[in-house]
A and B are shown apart, each in its own frame.
Chain A
Amino acid sequence: MRHLLVIAAAIFTVSAHAETPRDFLTRFEKEAGAAASAERGARFFTTKQGGEWSCASCHTDKPTQAGRHAKTDKAITPLAPAANAERFTDAAKVDKWFRRNCNDTLNRVCSAQEKADVMAWLLALR
């Protein structure tokens, strides 16, 4: 039990090194090799992309607000960094949730360009 806690604490510490939301925009733009478009990000976020859900199904089309889980109805804290300082500060967490949520909404991984566009839009929200 003590070992387990030590392991968990170690993983927690490793994954908790701080990043800023803007770092992710920079990273995804670099990976995509092209500039991001907030407008494209807004469209991508708020419309269905082949799946049953869009990003907005849980995060709402105004992600400065709190969202609601489309399956469990649980509250989801705002996604836009302007409304929630905890968002996009941990690379492991960001990668994990893009992996999961892209699979739920697109049935595939998101491209770097799609992630860059969404980041640009989320960062533009006030």
Chain B
Amino acid sequence: MHTEPKPVRVWDLPTRVFHWSLVASFATAFITAESEKLRDIHVVAGYTLAGLIAFRLLWGFVGGGYSRFAEFLPTPRKLIDYLKSLTRGNPQHYVGHNPAGAVAIFLLLGFGLVAAASGWATYEDMGGHFMEELHEVAANGMMAIVVIHIAGVIVSSWLHQENLVLAMITGWKTRRS
């Protein structure tokens, strides 16, 4: 029997605003990282990023639906099952975050906190060379996760025939049955 695609509400407004604000602040901070002339912009972008992550950590507990950490907390079992299903070409479908995406989210939030804290310490001349190195490692870690995340979005959008980028803009997913 043919069923009409049914729109599902997945991402609430705060989650979407958070997502794209994090994109903007991280991109700004990354692009301005090497320039002393743009140092003040870099610092403001970094503090913005820290504030956004603080909000997301709170929203992971008090937000609703698919935004809650409890909804997408990845376990090794879930992650392995999901990755296996990918290699078999018959991927498990998650309406919210899949387990691989969930791991990326927690890594990104963690790296982001380390980057912001070590960046702040460096800017305030505390922690010396170690904090400076830690800041760069954390920021590069974030960029690595972002690259993997974007690749995952492209692959997953194709495998499941759903536009995940559009869903993060509108908040809605259309399930094909």
Contacts and interface: CB of A to CB of B under 8 A. Distances in A.
Interface of A: 1, 4-5, 7-9, 11-12, 15-16, 52-53, 58, 69-72, 74-75, 93, 99-101, 103-104
Given A4-B137, A7-B137, A71-B40, A12 B35 contact: no
Contacts of B134: 4-5, 8
Interface string B120-155: 000101000110011001100100000000000000
A119 B95 CA distance: 60
A11 B37 contact: no
Interface in B1-48: 34-37, 39-40, 43
Interface of B is mostly: helix
Contacts of B125: 74-75
Contact of A100 (B36, B40, B111): B36
A70 B138 CA distance: 27
B130 A69 contact: no
Contact of A71 (B39, B114, B129): B39
Nearest to A5: B134
B144 to A, nearest CB: 12
Nearest to B37: A104
Interface string B89-127: 000000000000000000000110010000000010100
20 contacts: A1-B114, A4-B114, A5-B134, A7-B137, A8-B133, A9-B130, A12-B129, A12-B130, A12-B133, A15-B133, A16-B129, A52-B37, A69-B39, A72-B39, A72-B40, A74-B123, A93-B129, A99-B34, A103-B34, A104-B37
A93 B130 CA distance: 12
B64 to A, nearest CB: 29
Contacts of A104: 35-37
B38 to A, nearest CB: 8
Contact of B34 (A5, A7, A72, A100): A100
A4 B43 CA distance: 22
Contacts of B110: 1
Nearest to B114: A4
Interface in B150-165: none
A13 to B, nearest CB: 10
Nearest to A11: B133
Contacts of B114: 1, 4
A80 to B, nearest CB: 19
Contacts of A52: 37
A55 to B, nearest CB: 11
A100 B35 contact: yes
A58 B133 contact: no
